[in-house]
Structure formats: structure tokens, C-alpha cells
Amino acid sequence: MISALRNSVRASVTSVVRLFQTSTPQATEKFVHKRIPAPDEGVQGEKIIDLDSALKTKQNLFPTLESDYQLYNGIPYKDLPICNIRVSHNNTIFTLTEPDGKVRIIRSCGMEGFKNTKKGTNIAAQTTGITIATKAVVQGYNTVRVRVQGLGPGRLSAVKGLQMGGLNIVSITDNTHVSWNPPRARKARRL
């Protein structure tokens, strides 16, 4: 019986035909590198809101007097935890706090393993955002408010990372300090 099985295997092996192609297959469409991507071709986890159409449909985009008491997953807006994101050119620091200011989780790009100039990149901010979001979901925080402070490359990526990590973001507030009396400018360089 074993010899019959070997003969059938040999017969099937010898009947295998290899196909060789002598010319390269021609593409049906020519690749155009200047093509504008379609609106749905975004980054993973990115949700785009068209502000003009949202205003036309009269969505509640802007806060009112009753906004503090509006419920999100059974929690009033004023009682939602706040994720503070401090973005600088050198690092991005995430802090998840209770509404009264008690810190629950804190992470930074340096704690995540990025060193030196890599801490200030948008990839580091997105990775740290995903990490803090997963930790927040494990601790029971599903819906948060986001407060972004500072200017740096990781502003948008940090919020995307929180969203990709599984957090439901209710509002995004820009809390960047704007100095109305900036320091005196440096002396002009002499050439």
C-alpha cells in the first residue's frame, strides 16, 4: 500500500507543469504620481468632518448653556475625564485627569522608548496616544474630552492616536497660551 502511495505521489509530481512568462505584464492603468487622492483615502483612524456641511445641517457643534449637562455614555459633559496633551518641539506629554484635576495616567514619548530628537516626531506622539488610550480603556475611561496645549509636530497625530486606541473623543479644545505682550525680538544680525 505504501508503494502504491509513493507511485501516485511521483505521478503527481511529474505532471506538474511550470509556467514561464517571457515578458513583463502590462499594467492596465498608467500610474500618475500627481493624482489627487479621493476623499475617503485617509490615514487609518482618521475621521474627517466637513465643517461647512455640518453647519448647514445645524449640528450642535458649538457649546451652549446646556452643554455641560448633556449626557455622553450616561455621564454629563462636565464630569467627563480630560486628556491633556502638552505638545512641544522636543516631546509630547499626555495626562489623563479627572474633571477636578486629579491625575490618573501620565505618559510621554520619552517614557514610551523614543530618545533624543525622535521624541518630538508625530509618530512618537501617535504611538504614545495609542498607549495611553488603551490604558485608559482598561481602567474604565471610554469617553474623554481632549485639551491640546502647545505647538509642535505631534498635535494632530496625538489626537489620532487617542482615537485609534479606542477612546471616544467628545470635544477637542486648543488651550495654547497666546502671549499678547511677547518678549522683545532679538537684535538684527549684521552681515
Burial class (CB in 10 A: 0-12, 13-18, 19+), 157: buried
Residue 28: predicted pLDDT: 57
| CA-based radius of gyration for the chain | 27
Asked if residue 121 has pLDDT above 60, the reply is yes
Q: Which fold has domain 67-174?
A: Nucleotidyltransferase; domain 5 (3.30.420)
pTM over 0.85: no
- The least confident of 8-12, 19-23, 96-100, 182-186 is 19-23
Q: Using one digit for the tens of pLDDT, what is the confidence trace for 140-149?
A: 999 999 999 9
Residue 84: predicted pLDDT: 95
Nearest Cα to Cα of residue 167 among 122, 128, 132, 125? 132
- 69 sits in the region (left: phi over 0; alpha: psi -120 to 50; else beta) called alpha
Asked if residue 179 has pLDDT above 90, the reply is no
Give mean pLDDT, residues 137-159: 91
- The least confident of 52-61, 67-76, 109-118 is 52-61
Give mean pLDDT, residues 88-100: 93
- The least confident of 22-36, 82-96, 110-124, 177-191 is 22-36
C-alpha cell read off for 142? 471610554
Contact 152, 93 (CB under 8 A): no
Asked if residue 130 has pLDDT above 70, the reply is yes
Give mean pLDDT, residues 110-134: 91
Distance CA 158, CA 152 (A): 11
E runs forming strands in the chain: 71-72, 75-76, 82-87, 92-97, 103-108, 143-149, 168-174
Mean pLDDT, the chain, integer: 79
Q: Using one digit for the tens of pLDDT, what is the confidence trace for 161-174?
A: 999 998 999 989 99
Give mean pLDDT, residues 153-162: 90
How many Cα atoms occupy the beta-carbon half-sphere of 73 within 13 Å?
Answer: 13
Contact 134, 166 (CB under 8 A): yes
DSSP labels, 72-99 = ETTEEGGGS-EEEEEE-SS-EEEEEE-T
Residue 131: predicted pLDDT: 93
Distance CA 25, CA 175 (A): 55
